[in-house]
Amino acid sequence: MVRPLPLLHLNLPDKFGTATSTGVRPITPRGQKVASGLIDSFTVTKGPKTTGLIVFPFNGFYVKIRASSGTRDIPALETLMMEAVNSIDWSSKTLVTAAQPMADCPQPLATRPAAKRVEGDDMSGIMSALLGGAAAQVVANKSKDAKPAPAPNYCREPGSANSGSTLYRANGDPDRYMLAMGDGGTAIYAGRNDLLALVEGSNAKEGAKTSAKYTVTYSQLDRTGTYGDFEGLPLPEQAIEEVRNGSPSSVATTWGKKRDISIGIR
């Protein structure tokens, strides 16, 4: 499984100027049996002399260790960071897998115009909202005994990294993407709504054609919001605008004992 390494050190030029990476490498946190973590260190032209980052999974969450120094070189900084990691036993109750640096996608998304919104009836909107909320809760409520699906192999869209978001694609899929919003665990997803197409196709009259719809969702730590549908894959700026200034058609709680789906059609 490829695990993304946050790029915030590279994406803060006001704080670090130009950051030069020493190269992402795997590490094995104390108590874990595989090299589940990643480390990267940078020399910078502004602020401290060096800065570094370690990320690894632990019991369903991610541990992130950052360090910067005005006097230490890269080897000394990494020694300090690894001492911090090895001072704690990180034995995890959840399955962890070996990590590897994430590469850019071999083929970037095709250049395209802004996607048009789907103009449909209220029933179609309600169905899309309900399916979006239900799908979010199914993912959140997966049984611990359920056989895990193969983990997608994420790649990074070339040139997409910035201080606010970075675009990733599962298995290089040209019909969907994920925008990681900073490093707080929230993300915007945009992609072809196969579940909605299946339902609409089964309800369509014989011979009638149904067109693909693309849905935007916003995943937070405890809830997932489903937004309006588009006729094509929305541009990243469209998806961000939809979440920042639009209203979700449904919100599904995905954390805690109380799980519900609130639907509100504009």
Q: What is the pLDDT of residues 149-195, one digit of tens each?
A: 667 788 989 887 665 678 999 988 999 999 988 767 789 999 988 76
How far, rounded to the nearest angstrom, does the alpha carbon of residue 153 sit from its chain's CA centroid? 12
Lowest mean pLDDT of 80-89, 166-175, 198-207, 228-237, name the range.
198-207
Cβ neighbourhood burial of 5 (10 Å; 0-12, 13-18, 19+) = buried
Instruction: Give, for 214, the enclosing helix (H) or strand (E).
Output: strand 214-219
30 pLDDT exceeds 80? Answer: yes
* Range scoring the smallest mean pLDDT among 46-55, 132-141, 157-166, 237-246: 132-141
Give the CA count within 13 Å in the CB-facing half-sphere of 224.
24
Residue 214 has pLDDT above 70, yes or no: yes
Could you give the C-alpha distances from 61 to 145, 155, 184, 187, 244, in angstroms and in order?
A: 19, 21, 11, 15, 26
pTM of the model: 0.74
**Which has more pLDDT, 97 or 128?**
97
Q: Is the pLDDT of residue 143 over 60?
A: no
